[in-house]
Amino acid sequence: MMSPAHYLFLSLALFLIGSIGVITRRNVIVVLMSIELILNAVNINLVAFSRIFGDVSGQVFALFIIADAAAEAAVGLGIIIAFFRNRETVLADEMDLLKW
Amino acid sequence: MVTPFGYFLTHLWLVPLFPLTSASLMLLIGRLLPKGAVSFLCVGSVFLSFVHAAGAVFELLAAPPAHRVFQSILFEWVTAGVMPTFGGATSFAADWGYLLDPLSSIMVLVVTGVGFLIHVYSIGYMGREGGYYRFFGYLNLFMFSMLTLVLANNLLLLFVGWEGVGLCSYLLIGFYFLKKSASDAGKKAFIVNRVGDTGFLLGIFFIATTFGTIRFTSQGLGDPRGFPGIFEVLAAMVKQGRLAFGAPVLTTIALLLFVGATGKSAQLPLYVWLPDAMEGPTPVSALIHAATMVTAGVYMVARMNAIYQLSPAAMDVVAVVGALTAVFAATMALAQTDIKKVLAYSTISQLGYMFLALGVGAFAAGIFHLMTHAFFKALLFLGAGSVIHALSGEQDLRKMGGLWNAIPATSRPFLVATLAIAGMPPLAGFFSKDEILGRTIARSAMLDRYLALWIIGVFTAGLTAFYMFRLLNLTFFGLSRIPHEVEHHIHESPKSMTIPLAILALLSIVGGWVALPALWGAESPFEKFLEPVLSGVIPETGAIQFAHHPLIIEFLLMAVSVAVAGFGIWLAYRLYLKFPHLHSKVAASWPRLHKLLNNKYYVDELYDAIFVNRIKDLSTAFALFDTRVIDGLGVDGSASLTRILSQISMWGDKWVVDGMVNFVGKFTQLLSHPVRMFQTGLFSSYAMWILIGLAILLGYYSRHMEVLVRHLR
Amino acid sequence: MLASIVFYFFAGMAVASAALMVTRRNAVHSAVLLVTTLLATAGIFLQLRAEFIFIAQIILYVGGIMVLFIFVIMLVRFDVALQHIRFRLQRWVALFVALALGVEITIVLLFARRLPGQGLLIEEPASADKLPPNTEELARSLFSSYLLPFEIVSVLLLVAMVGAVVMAKKRINDQ
């Protein structure tokens, strides 16, 4: 077991990389994947601190997050497919219907 | 005290009412009535007036001469209250009442009698013209006005009648109103009359302020009601010495009244309307411009004789104007070629005679001449109408001739009338004209200047005889110059036209015989009849003094006037009958004089230049003022101003109000634009902004950052 | 010593895979790299003695979710050539902001223990031997204290299922 700092920094790094991915990538599927990455980073954090405090609630929470990630991925991909059916595109910068 | 009484006198107000009723009927339903009904109603009403008038005069004669005055007041018309006058303050009232005394009885008989004959004549003359009911309506309206004038008991009511006859004259002269010359003539008559009426009104106002009353006299009233007449007030003033013989105020009044008479009776200088008035139908010329309306001025002066007799200066003016008018008009008649125009100038000339008589103080003679003139002048006009009717409308003397045997029922009476107007005994004209001339010279024995007037009068008599016989010769004698197609249709007039001619011829013959006694020096019954009215205020001192010549001088003077007339007749015979082309040679030898006479001395042109055109210019100036200033500035100007103001307000609205609104919108847009740019619709930018926000929040809220920053500093 | 090597191995793999994932053009490559990352994370979980989470991660995340992702990537055909990058500015801003964030949090983490009475509780973790068996503990906690959230999550999954079906269903007779 490393010091909590290690896990925190790892979690931070993964979180930031995931954020960059969300902001930067044009392919929305990859964006969704980056979101999964962010969730994953949070999971690491939760599990690490659950280990530190000896409380299993963190892991329970992490489990819920995984379940939630699954649901979200399913719906999100459904949306993408529907969008793709209408617009023939999966590129983020072409999805600007809510533009001013 | 035996005041006159009787049915006809108490119903004197019916006399003007009959023609008024029929005139109103014509106005209301005349269009719907058949010709026969119109004739019956209108002529019948005049006949009824004549009957009532005759009856009233008859009843008046029953009273003794000193009381032959009947007055009845119908109602109080104008009550003005207290009024300051020359003689003190009095209360002024004008009423609607009728007065019958010798003077008005002569007038009313002439008006209704001759009027009735002319109405009968009109049935035939206007039978085939359009506007039959309109003609009779106007004619009856005229009768009503003239009778009101003659029977009025005060100056205001007289003026009502005065104006009424002026109006009817306008309506009847311009009867054929579609013809421009006719409507112009009507306007001319009315306007020239109006000029005279100004003087007349001023005279009435003067009388009102001087005497405090405008009623002629208070005699004959059962109850004077406390308002004296002019006659009584004048007498009182003279007796008290407040008004002297020849006082300026009296002269002013007399002259102002005479101005009115000048207009109505066509004297110099307001005579110009009478020749133009011949545009009206011939019966109109006969009635209005020969027998009745034009004599209203003479009547008025005779009625106011009390004032005139106290003002010798005014009487001189009247006499001179009358004499000059007589000779002036006679010269113009010499060169006229229209049958009616000759008669028109003749009328002006004869009216001049009447005023000459009034001016020298022979009031009775003037009225006498008025009566005889009515007879023969009406006959002349009706005869001329008959000739025109026979010749299918021809009025030019140069196209007539030789009608003596063609239309005998017209030509014989016409000869009678011509002899009468020339002053040939024993016809009526001789008596009346001789009376006037005799009085003139009688006065001249006292005052030399009247001799000149007498010479003018005799000369005019000669001229009258000459031009009248010229007319007769050209119309009825000599070779016919009538165009061929007209000659075929020559026919005698119907009985309705020729019977009045015969009656008037009879009157022209016997009408003068009432003055027969004057031939042998006695006072004529006519004059005696009129004496109570015409004797003036002061029979003793200020009245007119006539010299009494011996009988032989009278006969000599009579012979002189007859001889002059005879010379005129002989001259006309020579120039127009014996040597038919002599007159044109005479005219050719004095071309300028002939032209001058023919064009009536260019008086109309003179008046046009001096007065008419100046007034037209003034009207044009006013019209210009109206269009440019009032319409331009006022109406158009205010319209333009409103338009300019509305433009400004529109500008204001567009730029200021809308500008503010637009500014608000633009400002909001301006502010919102940067904010709008956030909504890119791309979730990646949204995510970026979340992250940025997170970083900022974290940086702000994190104590550690704070501490670090503090530490670093 | 072994612990740190394992940790650094898994951590390095995770970070490297993640970094690669967000920079690959090919979506399939990204997917595969994400799988790698998830596996590395699973390894971290294992090191933290969270066995159940480790298995759950692999079975659910990798076996379920990533497979789904790859299915969809395959389904959605797109031209790889169109992939020229458009978010030029945004990339650098994102990078900068991430860096800033990282610095901030690092500072917070590092200097936290300097402040008395505040900051994080950086303690030594408990010993590994004194831990109860993970799965039992998890189950016990899940089915007693966190029963409600458990049920809610199941409803959530149901809803997600329905939603996904509705979303992706092909519509016939639709304008």
| pLDDT tens sequence across B128-186 | 777 888 899 999 999 999 999 999 888 889 999 999 999 998 999 888 888 888 888 88
Cα–Cα distances in angstroms (integers) from residue C123 to residues A4, A53, B389, in the given order: 8, 9, 154
Output the CA torsion C112→C118→C120→C126 (10° steps).
120
Distance (Å, whole) CA B358 – CA B364: 8
Partner B contacted by A100 (CB < 8 A): yes
Measured between CB atoms, does B629 come within 8 Å of chain C?
no
Bridge partners, residue B99, by sequence: B71
pLDDT of residue C93: 86
Tell me how crowded residue B555 is: count the other CB atoms within 10 A of its CB: 14
Contact between B213 and B92 (Cβ < 8 Å): yes
B→A contacts (Cβ < 8 Å), by residue, are: 676-677, 679-685, 687-688, 691
CB proximity list for B435: less than 8 A, separation 6 or greater: B357, B362, B365, B368, B369, B515, B518, B524
Of chain C, the percentage scoring pLDDT greater than 70 comes to 79
The predicted structure's pLDDT at residue B62? 80
Q: Is A21 close to C21, i.e. CB distance below 8 A?
A: yes
B691 and A23: CB-CB below 8 Å? yes
The β-bridge partners of B76 are: B95
Q: pLDDT band at residue B609, thresholds of 50, 70 and 90?
A: confident
Partner-chain residue, chosen from B682, B687, B691, that has the shortest CB–CB distance to A93: B682
Who wins on pLDDT, B289 or B224? B289
Compare CB distances from A92 to B676, B682, B691 and report the shortest one's residue: B682
> Are B171 and B186 contacting, i.e. CB atoms less than 8 angstroms apart?
yes
Contacts of C102 in chain B (CB under 8 A): none
Q: Is the pLDDT of residue B675 over 80?
A: yes
- Chain B nearest C-alpha distance from C104 (Å): 7
Task: Judge: C118–B703 Cβ closer than 8 Å, yes or no.
Answer: yes
Nearest beta carbon to residue B680 from set A19, A23, A96 = A96
Chain B contacts in chain A segment 32-91 (CB below 8 A): none
Q: Chain B, 648-707: which have a CB under 8 Å from a chain C CB? A: 684-685, 688, 691-692, 694-695, 698-699, 702-705, 707
The pLDDT value recorded for residue B429 is 82
Average pLDDT for chain C: 82
Interacting residues of A13 by C-beta distance below 8 A, sequence separation 6+: A41, C15, C18, C102
Please report, in tens digits, the pLDDT of each residue of chain A (100 residues total): 567 778 889 999 999 999 999 988 888 889 999 999 999 999 999 999 888 877 889 999 999 999 999 999 999 998 888 888 887 777 777 777 777 7
Distance from CA of A16 to the nearest CA of B (A): 10
Closest-CA residue in chain B for A99? Answer: B681
The whole-angstrom distance between A11's CA and the closest CA on chain C is: 9
Query: Which subunits have 3 or more CB–CB pairs within 8 Å of chain B?
Result: A, C
Chains that touch C (3 or more CB pairs under 8 A): A, B
Residues near A10 by Cβ (< 8 Å), separated by ≥ 6? A41, A44, C11, C14, C15, C44
Q: Which of A14, A74, A84 sits opposite C161 (nearest CB)?
A: A74
Binned at pLDDT 50, 70 and 90, residue B34 comes out as confident
Q: What average pLDDT score do residues B289-318 get?
A: 85
Given CB atoms, is A87 within the 8 Å cutoff of chain C? Answer: no
Output the CA angle C122-C124-C126, nearest 5 degrees: 130
What is the chain A residue with the closest CA to B687? A23
Angle of helix C2-21 versus helix A4-24 axis, rounded to 10: 10
The model's pLDDT over C109-154, given as tens digits with 9 standing for 90+, comes to 776 655 555 545 555 555 656 667 788 888 988 899 999 999 999 9
ipTM of model: 0.91
Place of tokens 């021809």: B394
Residue that wins the pLDDT comparison between B217 and C18: C18
User: Is C18 in contact with A70 (Cβ distance < 8 A)?
Assistant: no
- Strand, coil or helix: B401: coil
Q: Which pLDDT belongs to residue B167?
A: 92
Residues B215/B172, Cβ–Cβ less than 8 Å: no
Closest CA in chain A for residue C33 = A33
pLDDT in tens, B486-535: 777 777 777 778 888 888 888 888 887 776 666 655 566 776 777 666 66
Q: Do C47 and A1 touch (CB under 8 A)?
A: yes
